Amino acid sequence: MHSAVFLIEFGAIILALGLLGRFAGRFQFSPIPLYLLAGLAFGEGGLLPLGASEEFVAIGAEIGVILLLLMLGLEYTASDLVSNLKTQYPAGLVDCTLNALPGAIAALLMGWGPVAAVVLAGVTWISSSGVIAKVLGDLGRLGNRETPVILSILVLEDLAMAVYLPIITALLAGVGWAAGSLTLAIALGAAGLVLFLAVRFGRVISRFVSSDDPEKLLLVVLGLTILVAGIAQQLQVSAAVGAFLVGIALSGEVAEGAHALLAPLRDLFAAVFFVFFGLHTDPASIPPVLLPALALAVVTALTKIATGYWAPAARASPSRAAGGPVVRWWREASSPSSSRASRSPPASSRRSARWPRRTS
């Protein structure tokens, strides 16, 4: 009986997501807001609360964000990652300063205390890798020239989670400095090791994963990604970082084949990932915090835009003299003497230009 209820509930969720996605596609906007609203409708305090499939949805959400970041990593090479991180770390510092401060100040003004200020600073600073990956894919912006800068800042945020999560865990648990420092050291070591292996031994990993049989390739890539993500999370590193670095490590025909095989799974579990947020949010808890949340949303939207404007300007200082990055790109694109290649994103920063990809 329980299995029958589970199948009915999960089938209803998937059907509803499919219909919502079709509706969003007809009107040319991302289906993410509709997925979140569906989660509110099916979740605790919603119109039709679900119980039997909740645990499976939670696991599916974890797999969804892992697949989103894996597929994002497949779009870029290890050399792209290293070069962008080297050039974009100042933007990461600006991102942290501009976006963490509003959350910390808001928590202190509302009298929540210093620990809550650290927590809320992380909420307003760290962007959702899953949401950004999904939106970039839905809007077809993975090949745009600004996307590597966005991804660099996103990866820096996820790598910063390796420091932030152990600190916040220690603060909330009230553990001593010794235990907190040990957890932080383990997390940093694990993040550095995964990054080193992805960059230095990417070709070896690709040869190990490579297979002419699509079934075996799918199983090995999916198993390796979930394994690395699980180990990373166990060591207090974001599972998203582990999955992203696995995608970075894979190259050539392996990356091509993995992308084609995993795209349908990504779309399915990514939708479940967004529903999961709504399932665990009681609609009755939203009105009391709606005004402060909207105020923070407006402020941090402006600070994120400021970060996004400053980052490419800092990366290419001549653009400042030319009126900013947007103006410079527009001039290049509209110049009669500019070639078609000069108006396109660099080939090294978009693997998708080198082979046909399925569009979701």
- Report the percentage of the chain scoring pLDDT > 70: 78
Crossing angle for the helix pair 32-42 and 129-138, nearest 10 degrees? 130
Residue 38 in this model has a pLDDT that exceeds 90: no
Which pLDDT does position 336 carry in this prediction?
A: 41
Which pLDDT does position 221 carry in this prediction?
A: 93
Residue 34 in this model has a pLDDT that exceeds 60: yes
CA distance 88 to 94: 10
Contact present, 94 and 313 (Cβ < 8 Å):
no
CATH no. of 2-307: 1.20.1530.20
Those residues with Cβ within 8 angstroms of residue 88's Cβ, 6 or more apart along the chain or in another chain: 149, 152, 153, 156, 311, 315
Which pLDDT does position 84 carry in this prediction?
A: 67
Q: Where are the domains of the chain?
A: 2-307
Residue 102 in this model has a pLDDT that exceeds 90: yes
Model confidence over 263-300: pLDDT tens digits?
899 888 888 888 887 777 778 888 888 898 899 999 99
